[in-house]
Amino acid sequence: MEIIPFNKEIDLGFSPVMTVGMFDGVHIGHQKLLTLLKTKARELGTKPIVITFDNHPRLILQPKDAKDSIKLLQTNEERFEKLFSLGFEKIITIPFSKEFSQISAVDFLDILMKKYSPQYLLMGYDNNFGRKYAEEFEDLVAESKLKGLILERTDECVFFEKTKVSSTQIRKALEEGDIKLASSMLGGDYIFNGTVIQGNQIGRTINFPTANIGINENKLLPRFGVYAVRVNVENKFYDGVLNIGIRPTIDNSPITIETFIFDYKGNLYDKKLRIHFIEYIRPEEKFYKLEELKEQIELDCIKAKEILSIQ
């Protein structure tokens, strides 16, 4: 996988087919578009390239403290990994800015043609290409043709059951703890990459040592509570149970993600974990004695093992 900054001068050595978008989640709607792009690349005897942003436009264009401030389904690392797994060897990243948002669609096409000489550009059906008041898409198609570029966009959205698949709908499902719906729309598990950091080690005192995961401030946290999870540690999978939230049993606790990994032996500090959310078990609960907490964790582990045994 090669990540190419937009401001880097590069000679690709071929005329690619391309698409442009944020692709947060790289969900099944995105995957349909990307499959179409790969098919077009094969037809034209070339390679497909994704152009994306290394920061979400809404994080730049709206105040950080806005009530509807966006949380992302993926970090850049997670998004790029998923795109790579789908067969995209090169990803071009644009650092989105207010200045960039003012570039017209025609000017952006000119930049693409000058830098990469694409022969085909595919956009999503709901992609607002260029500035809000840019030319109509049909005019852009005609303008592109004059430049030697075929510009098209997909003509339909993707539904899962009766839900229109979108990053917004997936965020909503995760915030409600509906992991199965979110995973179905994502076309795979909801994943959380993170490094194990020092915790308060209360779990050790009740024989449930947990891995405390560092939190990315822009990453979407699912509904607070307990989950059955699978954890990838150094390319090996383990089953486990995870708690996310404010740990109401502990006074003045910050938001934490703590994972108890079944059958793992060894030191996890500073190791990178990839957590796969499988199913929501229960909401957070306040316990007045650590012994009560221990008993509940034991029940959570039993439930998680039941869930994971049939997945």
Backbone φ and ψ for 224, nearest 5 degrees, come out as -60, 140
129 and 182 together in one domain: no
Which of 156, 186, 211 terminates a domain? The answer is 156
In this structure, the dihedral spanned by the alpha carbons of residues 106, 112, 114 and 116, taken in order and rounded to 10 degrees, is -160
Same domain flag for 224 and 129: no
Q: Residue 134 carries which side chain, given as an amino acid letter?
A: A
Q: Is residue 192 part of a domain?
A: yes
**Is 106 within the bounds of a domain?**
yes
259-281 tens-digit pLDDT: 999 988 888 889 999 999 999 99
Question: Residue 163 domain-assigned?
Answer: no
Residues 184 and 291 in one domain: yes
Is residue 61 assigned to a domain? yes
Confidence of residue 64 (pLDDT cuts 50, 70, 90): low
Q: Is the pLDDT of residue 294 over 90?
A: no
Split at pLDDT 50, 70, 90, the class of 68 is low
C-alpha closest to that of 210 among 256, 260, 284: 260
CA 34 to the chain's CA centroid: 16
Is 243 part of a structural domain of the chain?
yes
Same-domain status, 85 and 186: no
Distance CA 211, CA 195 (A): 9
Q: Residue 125: which residues within 8 A CB-CB, separation 6 or more?
A: 153, 154, 155, 156, 157
- Which CATH number do you get for residue 8? 3.40.50.620
In terms of domains, do 66 and 131 share one?
yes
Please provide the DSSP assignment of 231-290 as one string: EEETTEEEEEEEEEE--TTSTT---EEEEEETT--S--TT-EEEEEEEEEEE-----SSH
Structural domain count of the chain: 2
The CA-atom distances, in angstroms, between 302 and each of 133, 227, 297, 305, 311 are 56, 12, 9, 5, 15
Gap between the Cα atoms of 48 and 236, Å rounded = 31
Mean pLDDT of the chain: 89
Whole-model pTM: value is 0.89
- CB-based burial label for 8 (10 Å; 0-12, 13-18, 19+): exposed
3-state DSSP call for residue 121? strand
For residues 145 and 211, membership in a common domain is answered with no
E strand or H helix at 41, and its extent? helix 28-44
CA nearest 269: which of 209, 219, 229? 209
Q: Which has the closest alpha carbon to 127: 219, 78, 57? A: 57
Structural domain ending residue among the three candidates 112, 128, 156? 156
Q: Looking at the structure, do residues 201 and 305 belong to the same domain, yes or no?
A: yes
Q: Let me know whether 46 and 105 are in one domain.
A: yes
Stretch 55-60: mean pLDDT: 86
> What would the pLDDT profile of 123-182 be if each residue is shown by its tens digit?
988 776 665 444 578 888 888 999 899 999 888 789 999 889 999 999 999 999 999 999
Judgement on whether residues 135 and 184 belong to the same structural domain of the protein: no
Query: Domain of 13?
Result: 2-156
Instruction: State in Å, rounded, how far the first CA of the chain is from the last one.
Output: 30
- b or e along 302-311 (b: 16 or more beta carbons within 10 Å of the residue's beta carbon)? ebbeebbeee
Asked if 223 and 245 count as a contact pair (C-beta separation under 8 A), the reply is: no
For residue 119, the SS3 value is coil
Give the whole-angstrom CA distance, residue 29 versus residue 167. 9
| pLDDT for position 135 | 54
pLDDT-wise least confident of 19-28, 34-43, 143-152, 201-210: 201-210
305 is a domain residue: yes
CB 8 within 8 A of CB 98: no
Alpha-carbon span 295 to 302, nearest angstrom: 11
The DSSP bridge pattern shows strands 159-160 and 150-153 to be unpaired
| CATH number where 190 lies | 2.40.30.30
In a domain, 171, yes or no: no
Whether residue 136 is found in the same domain as residue 186: no
Question: Do 193 and 152 fall into the same domain?
Answer: no
Summarised one tens digit per residue, pLDDT across range 173-230 is: 999 999 999 999 999 999 999 999 886 666 565 667 888 999 888 899 999 999 999 9
Domain finish residue from 88, 123, 156? 156
Q: Are residues 227 and 274 in the same domain?
A: yes
In a domain, 93, yes or no: yes
